[in-house]
Amino acid sequence: MDNNFTYSEPMLPTVALIGRPNVGKSTLFNRLLGRNKALTHDRPGVTRDRIYGEVRAKAVRPFALVDTGGLVFTDAEGFELDVLDQAREAVRGSQAALLVVDAREGLTPMDREVAEFLRGAGLPLVCVVNKVDGPEREHLTAEFHALGLDVVPVSAAHGHGVSGLLSVVDGLLDTLEGVWWSEQERPEQGLRLTMLGRPNAGKSSMVNALVGENRLIVSEEAGTTRDSVDVTFERADKRYTFVDTAGVRRRGRITDSLERFSTLRALKASKHAQITVMVMDATAGVTMQDKKLLAFLDREKTPFLVAVNKIDLVPRAAMSQLRKNFEEALRICPHVPVIYTSCLSRAGLGGMLPLAEQIWDECGLRVSTGELNRAMKTAIERHQPPTVKRRRAKFFYLTQPETHPPGFVFFVNDRDLVKDSYVRYLENQLRKLFGVRAAPMRVMFRSSHEKKEPTGKKRSQAKPKRGEKPRQQSTKLGVQGPATAGDTTATEQAASAKGGKAKAKKVVRQPASHKQGPKKPAKKGGKTAKGVSRKPGGGKSGAKAGKGGKR
* Distance between CA atoms of residues 337 and 225, nearest Å: 26
Q: What percent of the chain has pLDDT over 70?
A: 77
What is the side-by-side order of every strand in the sheet holding 238-244? 5-7, 229-235, 238-244, 191-197, 275-281, 304-309, 338-340
pLDDT of residue 245: 92
Confidence label for 293 from pLDDT (cuts 50, 70 and 90): very high
Decide: residue 288, CB within 10 A, 0-12 exposed, 13-18 middle, 19+ buried: exposed
pLDDT in tens, 32-83: 999 989 888 888 888 888 999 999 888 788 899 999 998 888 877 778 888 8
Report DSSP letters for 236-265, one per residue. TTEEEEEEE------GGG---HHHHHHHHH
pLDDT in tens, 419-443: 999 999 999 999 999 999 999 999 9
Confidence label for 302 from pLDDT (cuts 50, 70 and 90): very high
Phi-psi region of 313 (alpha: psi -120 to 50; beta: other; left: phi over 0): alpha
Handedness of CA 28, 31, 35, 36 (dihedral sign): positive
pLDDT in tens, 360-411: 999 999 999 999 999 999 999 999 999 998 899 999 999 999 999 999 999 9
Q: What is the mean pLDDT of the chain?
A: 82
pLDDT beyond 80 at 182 = no
pLDDT beyond 70 at 469 = no
Please name the helix (run of DSSP H) or strand (run of DSSP E) that holds residue 355, with its range, or none: helix 352-363
Confidence label for 461 from pLDDT (cuts 50, 70 and 90): low
pLDDT beyond 70 at 187 = no
pLDDT beyond 80 at 340 = yes
DSSP code of 513?
Answer: T
Confidence label for 478 from pLDDT (cuts 50, 70 and 90): very low
Bridge pairing between strands 5-7 and 229-235: antiparallel
CB 397 within 8 A of CB 376: yes
β-partners of residue 392 are 387
Phi-psi region of 487 (alpha: psi -120 to 50; beta: other; left: phi over 0): beta
* Distance between CA atoms of residues 311 and 283, nearest Å: 8
Report DSSP letters for 26-48, one per residue. HHHHHHHHTS--S---SSTT---
CB 347 within 8 A of CB 341: yes
pLDDT of residue 228: 87
* Distance between CA atoms of residues 152 and 169, nearest Å: 11
Half-sphere exposure for 216 (CA within 13 Å, toward CB): 28
CB 106 within 8 A of CB 143: yes
Lowest-confidence range among 84-93, 300-309, 352-361, 518-527? Answer: 518-527
pLDDT of residue 256: 79
pLDDT of residue 44: 83
* Distance between CA atoms of residues 188 and 169, nearest Å: 26
* Distance between CA atoms of residues 543 and 225, nearest Å: 100
Residues 97-113, mean pLDDT to the nearest whole number:
93
pLDDT beyond 90 at 307 = yes
Half-sphere exposure for 541 (CA within 13 Å, toward CB): 19
Lowest-confidence range among 124-128, 223-227, 330-334? Answer: 223-227
DSSP code of 23?
Answer: S
What single letter denotes the amino acid at residue 394? K
Confidence label for 296 from pLDDT (cuts 50, 70 and 90): very high
Residue 403: closest CA among 357, 438, 445, 361: 361
Residue 443: closest CA among 419, 427, 428, 420: 427
pLDDT of residue 234: 86
pLDDT of residue 485: 47
β-partners of residue 320 are none
430 vs 174: which has the higher pLDDT: 430
Helices (H) and strands (E) counted in the chain, each on its own, are: 12, 18
pLDDT of residue 102: 93
Please name the helix (run of DSSP H) or strand (run of DSSP E) that holds residue 491, with its range, or none: helix 490-497
N-terminal to C-terminal alpha carbon distance within the chain: 106
What's the CA angle centered on 230, arms 257 and 157, to 5 degrees? 50
pLDDT of residue 453: 55
What's the CA angle centered on 376, arms 370 and 377, to 5 degrees? 95
Residues 114-128, mean pLDDT to the nearest whole number:
92
Residues 211-223, mean pLDDT to the nearest whole number:
85
* Distance between CA atoms of residues 511 and 537, nearest Å: 8
**Domains, the chain:** 10-174 (3.40.50.300), 191-362 (3.40.50.300), 369-447 (3.30.300.20)
What's the CA angle centered on 519, arms 499 and 549, to 5 degrees? 65
pLDDT of residue 180: 55
Residues 246-254, mean pLDDT to the nearest whole number:
85
* Distance between CA atoms of residues 223 and 206, nearest Å: 16
β-partners of residue 125 are 97
The phi and psi torsions of 125 (rounded to 5 degrees) equal -135, 140
β-partners of residue 100 are 128
478 vs 46: which has the higher pLDDT: 46
The crossing angle, in degrees rounded to 10, of helices 162-174 and 25-33 is 80
SS (H, E, C) 437-468: CCCCCEEEEEECCCCCCCCCCCHHHCCCCCCC
pLDDT of residue 418: 93
